[in-house]
């Protein structure tokens, strides 16, 4: 039996080591921020400029990817040019939605009083007659097997709730840019925390980076490295990893737009905020990877929808001029989507429990679309609804609809107008994010070495609330055992001085340990969200 205080301390060592919490533990990426040269790998990467990429090794910051990501880099300039013009066409710029439905999760969701949150509606008379609520409601009435709530519904194949067009206002999306609004703090944090809690699979960016590969499944090279980290086996299935990457990719894309069109509150001017981008994206290259991942997923959906979209009626006038112009730009987008949208949806939701897992996936993503009703910023809520609907539409196209169902001649009303508009505008958002990343790279290239070092140093300070010197920035964090050993040594010193102080110290640590264990045993591991980029 141990009789000395020192022996007692060492008996408690397994417990004390669990009390080690990094100083930036509120972020899911607490152990990943200071990996060496990660900011430089993002901002000094030169995008690929060739379509032929057979046997090309992955390059730059887009870790664990194959040819398709390089292909996205090579086509995104042309893709953005075409889709940027496409979303200005009448069919794609008018969006009707109810932004003032009650939040289903809590009552006090508040509101954003910043001018940047304000939004302007469009009078119904400006919207072509065939796209007004009265006309669209007649089409919605033909939809069978609907599960309804006041003002919205979903079908069994849907990954989101859709408005039934009985209420809501019209918006010209070209007049409502997605950019910095000032909506942040506890309210925005709660939104993202709730969204990440819908990831009931228990994955995080940290586990995706350091975790082992998903269940052994033979995949084409376009998907293999996207979904596996180190080639080993693991219990984490592909579907769970896809779910997390979809959510985190959306978050990262929104953050990129906020940084790309940031309001300098001192000068009142809008412009790119490189420090914002370094803090939120460049210091976490995996977030940029998820933007590419979502872009490929959306492109694959558009490619599969090619015949259906080509046959869709975009006309709003008697001359059909806008219809032909819209289709011309759309065909260019579809052609590029067929080149870069190499996502093998057949690799997912197969096997003994495929239907159960897919239904779980749909339920949780539907909840994500309903969380958008809780956003306190009107502009953020609008773009949140559009983009979650756009991604949900892509998921439905990939995982619910076969080639026969997608035939426009037999299923002309397969998608609601809102789904088509949301899908294309969401792809535009992601394509624009990648364009913004290139702009940030150009800004970075013009900086001096001292300026770039300061940006990285400031990013470290923002994530770690302890002082650092520049020489410490790229040093690895102390190991668990180093920290635990230091803690034990300090306790031994206290116990040598006073038994009373020793008891107080140990009781304090035990209390802290119980609090930590209590938080660990919460239903979800996503309470904090990816801390540093919480604004919606």
The residues that are catalytic are 377, 380
CA distances from residue 503 to 15, 151, 486 in whole angstroms, order as listed:
15, 61, 18
d(CA 355, CA 204): 24
Beta bridge partners of 122: 170
d(CA 25, CA 31): 9
d(CA 299, CA 249): 14
User: Which helix (H) or strand (E) is 50 found in, with range?
Assistant: none
Helix spans in 105-226 (H) = 133-140, 186-197, 205-210, 221-224
CA distances from residue 341 to 219, 305, 323, 344 in whole angstroms, order as listed:
16, 12, 25, 9
d(CA 257, CA 263): 12
Strands 162-163 and 152-155, sheet pairing: antiparallel
- What sign does the dihedral 106-110-116-119 (CA atoms) show? positive
d(CA 292, CA 59): 13
d(CA 361, CA 94): 30
In the three-class reduction of DSSP (H, G, I as helix; E, B as strand; rest coil), residue 292 is classed as: helix
Sequence-separated (6 or more) residues with CB below 8 Å from residue 524: 196, 197, 199, 200, 202
∠284-26-290 over CA atoms, to 5°? 30
In the three-class reduction of DSSP (H, G, I as helix; E, B as strand; rest coil), residue 162 is classed as: strand
In angstroms, the first-to-last Cα distance of the chain is: 57
Helix spans in 400-479 (H) = 417-445, 449-463
∠242-246-252 over CA atoms, to 5°? 140
Cα–Cα nearest to 497, from 1, 3, 5, 15: 5
In the three-class reduction of DSSP (H, G, I as helix; E, B as strand; rest coil), residue 269 is classed as: strand
d(CA 150, CA 161): 11
């Amino acid at each position: 039996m141990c009789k000395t205080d020192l022996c007692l301390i060492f008996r408690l060592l397994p417990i004390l080591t669990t009390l080690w919490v990094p100083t930036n533990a509120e972020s899911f990426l607490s152990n990943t921020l200071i990996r060496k040269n990660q900011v430089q790998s993002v901002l000094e990467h030169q995008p690929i400029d060739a379509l032929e990429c057979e046997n090309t090794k992955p390059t730059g910051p887009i870790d664990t990817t194959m040819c398709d990501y390089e292909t996205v880099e090579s086509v995104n300039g042309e893709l953005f040019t075409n889709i940027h013009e496409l979303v200005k066409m009448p069919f794609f710029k008018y969006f009707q939605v109810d932004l003032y439905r009650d939040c289903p999760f809590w009552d006090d969701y508040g509101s954003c009083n910043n001018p940047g949150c304000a939004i302007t509606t469009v009078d119904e008379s400006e919207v072509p007659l065939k796209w007004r609520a009265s006309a669209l409601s007649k089409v919605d009435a033909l939809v069978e097997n609907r599960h309804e709530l006041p003002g919205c519904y979903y079908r069994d194949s849907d990954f989101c709730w859709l408005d039934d067009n009985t209420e809501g206002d019209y918006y010209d999306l070209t007049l409502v840019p997605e950019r910095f609004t000032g909506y942040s703090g506890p309210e925005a944090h709660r939104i993202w925390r709730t969204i990440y809690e819908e990831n009931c699979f228990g994955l995080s960016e940290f586990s995706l980076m350091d975790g082992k590969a998903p269940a052994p499944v033979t995949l084409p090279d376009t998907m293999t490295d996207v979904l596996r980290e180190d080639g080993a086996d693991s219990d984490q299935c592909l579907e769970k990893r896809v779910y997390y990457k979809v959510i985190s990719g959306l978050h990262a894309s929104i953050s990129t737009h906020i940084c790309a069109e940031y309001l300098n509150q001192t000068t009142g001017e809008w412009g790119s905020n490189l420090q914002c981008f370094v803090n939120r994206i460049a210091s976490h290259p995996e977030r940029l990877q998820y933007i590419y991942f979502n872009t490929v997923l959306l492109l694959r959906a558009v490619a599969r929808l090619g015949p259906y979209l080509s046959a869709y009626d975009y006309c709003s006038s008697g001359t059909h001029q806008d219809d032909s112009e819209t289709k011309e730009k759309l065909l260019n987008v579809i052609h590029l989507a067929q080149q870069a949208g190499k996502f093998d949806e057949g690799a997912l939701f197969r096997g003994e429990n495929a239907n159960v897992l897919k239904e779980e996936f749909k339920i949780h993503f539907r909840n994500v679309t309903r969380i958008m009703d809780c956003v306190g910023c009107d502009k953020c809520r609008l773009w949140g609804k559009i983009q979650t609907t756009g991604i949900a539409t892509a998921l439905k196209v990939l995982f619910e609809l076969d080639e026969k169902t997608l035939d426009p001649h037999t299923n002309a009303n397969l998608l609601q107008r809102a789904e088509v508009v949301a899908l294309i505008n969401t792809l535009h958002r992601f394509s624009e994010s990648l364009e913004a990343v290139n702009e940030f790279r150009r800004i970075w290239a013009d900086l001096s070495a001292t300026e770039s070092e300061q940006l990285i140093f400031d990013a470290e300070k923002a994530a770690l609330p302890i002082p650092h010197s520049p020489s410490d920035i790229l040093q690895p964090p102390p190991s668990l055992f180093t920290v635990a050993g230091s803690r034990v040594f300090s306790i031994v010193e206290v116990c040598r001085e006073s038994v009373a102080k020793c008891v107080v110290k140990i009781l304090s640590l035990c209390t802290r340990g119980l609090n930590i264990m209590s938080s660990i045993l919460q239903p979800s591991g996503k309470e904090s969200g990816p801390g540093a980029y919480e604004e919606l």
